[in-house]
Amino acid sequence: MSAFSKKYGNQIGNTSLTQFDVLIIGSGAGGSAAAEALTRNGQKVLILEAGINTFQGLDASDPQNLKTLSGNDQLKFSNRYFISPDPEAEPKVFRSDENEKGYRFWGDNSLLPRTVGGAAIIADLLVPRFAPDDFHLGTLLKKTPMAGTTFADWPVDYDQLEKFYCHTEQVIGAQGEAGANPFEGPRSAPYPMKPGLPMYVSLKAAAAAKKVNPDYSPFPNAAAINSRPYGGRPACVNCGFCIGVPCVSSAKGSPAVTFLRKALLTRNCLLMTETKVTRLLMDSSKRKVIGVEALDAKGKVVQVKADRYILAANPIESTRIVLRSAPGGVGNSSGMVGRNLTFHFKTHAVGIFNERLHAHRGRISSHCMVDFRGKPGDTNKPLGGIVELGGGSDPIAEGIAYALQVPFGKHYLSKWMRESPLRDRLMVLTMIAEDAPQYANRLDLDPNIKDFNHHPVIRTTYKNHSFELNARAFYGPKMIEIVKAAGALYTFIPPAAKIPDTHHVLGTLRFGNDPKASVCDGNGKFHDVENLYCVDGSIFPTSSGYNPTLTIMALANRVGSGMVFPQDPERGLPIT
């Protein structure tokens, strides 16, 4: 064991490493994908993860030794904050605009897990690609400007990401049907796996969509879930616990058991868990990071150094670190740090059926459609998003709802869970729509409230734009039309969440070619800091209308490759 290992505990990987080319803050989708690219190309990488490790055998050569230790206890994950910050100890505050006095919300909003593998270990891991137009909305929407929005082109396009999309799909083990999505960009390789068994509720919704409009094109969802044994991991058994809890068999290709595991197996990587980075240490010029300050598992302040640094802690925590590291934030000559915050604006069309639809059996949603994504600048086809064709809630959530509302219901909780009188009869179409970036929507440090470590908490200032509200109004009735055509007895669209109810947090450290209008450049490096990069959803200039995880990983892998081969990131990809 090295002197480094003796000083710092909770380590996984090559504990003999003492010096590092790159230090990555966060082991989620972006951090793990960047680490895989860097370590495969010979870089020595240290990953600091604030959360606990719920896996065994991540660095074991035999995949049979890989185990998920946490189980799929929904109460533990959703109500007891097993892998998430306790909102009483580490709250966040929310307001709708800067002039609002007080707070609309205090506590648990935009809560993202803090654990090895990040939020993706409990995501449903639907992994669609962004469409080619999604990278050029700044240009494509110029003819139809919208007051208050800050749409911008990405400094990379679909063609520059395509090979990294393919590599990511191969690493995580994506199932899908190449060519089934008529709106997808060109592919240089098929999905590594065919789609798994279709879900009855999804097939029923897909048939109803074709009945409403023969031009609609529902197709199998792309998902990082094994439909056959792949990568040393078993095939999915369709247990239904894809979201909110880790996959107990590791059939789901989360970053922890794919990208991170690959990085650790190179022996060029060391992972330190329960080590929360609180700020970056800067030199006197404020243009170079010379180390990071962190709290270890015992709450002791430690300092760790490397040559280069990558933020991958998720947009909320990455932005918080940047803001805590210098007055006004590190690398903030543009004034854009924390600005242009976006989420995904969800619209749910719900149908209640007489028959049981068995929506809890399968992968949350086996089919989707992108006919409501829209076309940039076309007022007859506003920009919405992908529509997932799925079903209802989990049994514990429904059981608790009944037990709390029905007299003496708490004595019948287990009965309500077994019967699932409503959950099994729900069809839910969910549109994950583009959220307009706005300069006024932002993250900053609250001047009054601190967490249990006496550090300022993040304050969210956010209000929906008419851009996404109009898309909801336009496509919501069309979604209801499909649910009715499927045979629903009752249909409704729940009110839009006043506080965003998605974990898709994006945009607060956007990248771009203009240093006056962005924080990072096209390679993910801060314009103002010579050795600081970002690879999580913070750098997205726009949110697109698709699940972001695949693009986060592909982009992070490209940034990592570009750190080794700046002139040609594709050189960093493995030879196939």
Contact assessment for residue 154 and residue 439, using Cβ atoms and an 8 Å cutoff: no
Residue 331: pLDDT over 70: yes
Quick: pLDDT tens for 273-308: 999 999 999 999 999 999 999 999 888 999 999 999
Residue 409: pLDDT over 60: no
Full-model pTM: 0.95
Report d(CA 209, CA 73) in Å as an integer: 35
**pLDDT band, residue 392 (cuts 50/70/90):** confident
Query: What is the arithmetic mean of pLDDT over 224-230?
Result: 96
Residue 8: pLDDT over 70: no
Quick: pLDDT tens for 532-567: 999 999 999 999 999 999 999 999 999 999 999 999
Contact assessment for residue 529 and residue 499, using Cβ atoms and an 8 Å cutoff: no
**Residue 302 token pair:** 């430690």
HSE-up of residue 400 (Cα within 13 Å, Cβ side): 8
**pLDDT band, residue 530 (cuts 50/70/90):** very high
Give the type of residue at 221.
Answer: N
Least confident of 129-138, 246-255, 313-322, 561-570: 246-255
Report d(CA 102, CA 34) in Å as an integer: 40
**Residue 183 token pair:** 């709106």
The residue ranges of DSSP E strands in 420-498, in sequence order, are: 426-433, 442-450, 456-461, 490-492
Least confident of 53-57, 259-263, 311-315: 53-57
Quick: pLDDT tens for 488-507: 999 999 998 888 878 899 99
**Residue 198 token pair:** 């279709």
Contact assessment for residue 187 and residue 178, using Cβ atoms and an 8 Å cutoff: yes
**pLDDT band, residue 82 (cuts 50/70/90):** confident
Closest CA to 462 of 483, 476, 441, 433: 441
**pLDDT band, residue 272 (cuts 50/70/90):** very high
Q: What is the mean pLDDT of the chain?
A: 91
Q: Work out the end-to-end distance of the chain between its first and last CA atoms, rounded to an integer number of angstroms.
A: 36
Report d(CA 166, CA 517) in Å as an integer: 31
Give the type of residue at 489.
Answer: L
Quick: pLDDT tens for 412-453: 666 666 666 777 888 999 999 999 999 999 999 999 889 888
How would you classify residue 62: left for phi > 0, otherwise alpha for psi between -120 and 50, otherwise beta?
Answer: beta
Quick: pLDDT tens for 87-115: 888 888 889 888 877 666 666 666 688 89
128 by DSSP, 3-state: which?
coil
Least confident of 103-107, 327-331, 465-469, 552-556: 103-107
Report d(CA 277, CA 312) in Å as an integer: 11
Closest CA to 222 of 283, 264, 258, 177: 177
